[in-house]
Amino acid sequence: MKLHEFVGKKLLSERGISVPKSVLVRSSEDILKLKSDIEKLGFPQVLKSQVLVGGRMKKGGIAFSESFEETLSLSEYLFKKPISGELPFGILIEEMIEHEKEWYFSISINPIEREIMFIFSEMGGIDIEKVAKESPEKIIKGTERDINKLPSTFSDVAEKLFKIFKKYDLTLLEINPFTPDKMTALDAVVHIDDNALFRQKWAQEFAEKKKPYHFVKLDGNIGVIGCGAGIVMATMDLIKSLGCKPADFLDIGGGASKEVTISALEEVKKLSPVAIALNIFGGITKGDEVAKAIVEFHKNNDLPLFVRITGTNEDEARRILEEHSINVYEDMERLCKEVVNYAKEVKAC
């Protein structure tokens, strides 16, 4: 389970690791209420979207402010800005820590060696994969027994981090960058073993509610929803073979209700696809229930929908969709060709 940065930093701070002073805000009203606390951080400030995806900086999820007014304005912008389809849980407003050097340090579990391993580099702040490829001599790897390989000024901090990692059942603890001059963690990526949540009760409140469908975000422009992993993958493969890329994999599963289908459509909508293809084979899933969900979603959204529904109650489902002028097709090949042709017409593929 991934934890937001502010939670990871609180965990580190309480165990003796230096982190920047900060204030978490969930709304513009919070910023006004906490104005005094925010101003005490001083300026400039760093504003960081609290999302559970990587690459915030490259995707515009981090901003810098020189005044309270700018902090308010930038926060309002960040609250509304999705990062890889995810809107922020909140904005972490931090004091700016001036520094000259940036280190990288992470602890994770090596499943092959069955060891807790660390990676360290004096070239932090950039992709560690790039450093490992272009400057492998700048990377130090080892276990807790190899802490003596690290800079002597960092060994005490490394020992504390290993203790935190083991005590709280973490699977990943990544700090990038870490400032060597002030020994401060400017960022923190923390993952907890899901199987250990029963004893890490403090983390249970941060656990995401399990979604009633299987969803994976991809990098294409056409949303894909189906019921059954096989039919979803077949739809994705056909869309790709026709020259476009799917934006996601989403399987609503057998027996999906109207509410689950609407939730799935809303999930895919967050990815800003050019259109959504729904390929539904009704076994225990009732086609008319899915059709009603599609109609309800369609009333409040102008996102083009391309639908194929066969199986249980398919005639009623087709009637409902046609009554509301929603594109409905009898076979998967036609469905995929039509949605791809549309995407190409609007130059999305």
CATH of the domain at 196: 3.30.470.20
Which positions ≥6 away from 8 have C-beta within 8 Å?
173, 188, 189, 190
Is omega for the bond preceding 177 within 30 degrees of 0, making it cis? yes
Residues 335 and 218 in one domain: yes
Residues 302 and 221 in one domain: yes
Residues 184 and 235 in one domain: no
Strand partners, 117: 108, 143
- Per-residue pLDDT of 75-110, as tens digits, reads 999 999 988 778 899 999 999 999 999 999 999 999
Domain that holds residue 110: 103-206
Q: Residue 320: which CATH number?
A: 3.40.50.261
Tokens representing 94 are 């931090």
Q: Cα–Cα distances in Å, from 107 out to 152, 170, 183, 310?
A: 18, 9, 17, 49
- Cα distance between residue 122 and residue 102, in whole Å: 7
Residues 245 and 308 in one domain: yes
108: three-class secondary structure by DSSP: strand
Flag whether pLDDT at 282 surpasses 90.
no
What are the φ/ψ torsions at residue 304 (nearest 5 degrees)? Answer: -60, 135
Which positions ≥6 away from 202 have C-beta within 8 Å?
none
Q: Is 288 a domain residue?
A: yes
Residues 219 and 305 in one domain: yes
* Reported confidence tier of residue 277, pLDDT bands at 50, 70, 90: very high
Q: Is 7 a domain residue?
A: no
Flag whether pLDDT at 136 surpasses 70.
yes
Flag whether pLDDT at 294 surpasses 80.
yes
Flag whether pLDDT at 335 surpasses 70.
yes
Is omega for the bond preceding 44 within 30 degrees of 0, making it cis? yes
The mean per-residue pLDDT over the stretch 284-289 comes to 92
**Which of 35, 69, 95 is a domain's end point?**
95
Helix crossing, 287-299 with 258-269: angle to 10°? 50
pLDDT of residue 132: 81
Flag whether pLDDT at 207 surpasses 80.
no
Residues 172 and 290 in one domain: no
The mean per-residue pLDDT over the stretch 207-216 comes to 78
Residues 108 and 91 in one domain: no
Q: Give the count of domains, the chain.
A: 3
